[in-house]
Amino acid sequence: MDRKYLFTALIYGILGLALGIHMAASHDHGQLVTHAHIMLLGFVVSFFYALCHKLWLHEANCRLASIQFYAHQVGTPVLLVCLFLLYGHIAPESILGPLLGIASITVLLGMLAMAVMVVMRRAPAT
């Protein structure tokens, strides 16, 4: 699971940096919120999850780890696309609001699943 998270973190990092470079070059910072979410939720949180799996959760419940991974990887892109559409004035908030809410809750559920895996982790034998 750690390699999957590392790979997705790098993809989000590339996308976030590309958007940031585009905003700087165009002098249009209208997507600042989207850029921040790509970098923090996509890159930083995914990288943090990769570290958690690599360092502490090698024996995590496989089913819960998969649910957690897919909750994060489904919720995050939906959230980011909706933010891009909202702050780009491409679609109205009345349409995107419910999708943003569902995506945010999906990401939250993924984080709660990570918390459960960390709490349920057995201490290493000494």
Residue 125 lies in a domain: no
Residue 126 lies in a domain: no
pLDDT tens digits, 17-57: 999 999 999 999 999 999 999 999 999 999 999 998 888 88
pLDDT tens digits, 46-93: 999 999 888 888 766 688 889 999 999 999 999 999 999 999 999 999
Residue 98 lies in a domain: yes
The confidence score (pLDDT) of residue 60 equals 63
Residue 68 lies in a domain: yes
Could you tell me the sign of the dihedral formed by the alpha carbons of 31, 86, 114, 58, in that order?
A: negative
User: Quick check: 112 pLDDT over 60?
Assistant: yes
Residue 43 · residue 16 · CB < 8 Å: yes
DSSP summary character for residue 74: H
Residue 45 lies in a domain: yes
The confidence score (pLDDT) of residue 123 equals 61
State the average pLDDT over residues 108-114.
95
Residue 67 lies in a domain: yes
Residue 22 lies in a domain: yes
The confidence score (pLDDT) of residue 54 equals 86
Number of domains in the chain: 1
Q: What gap in Å lies between CA 96 and CA 51, rounded to an integer?
A: 32
Residue 48 lies in a domain: yes
User: Quick check: 113 pLDDT over 80?
Assistant: yes
State the average pLDDT over residues 99-126.
87
Q: Which domain holds residue 32?
A: 2-120
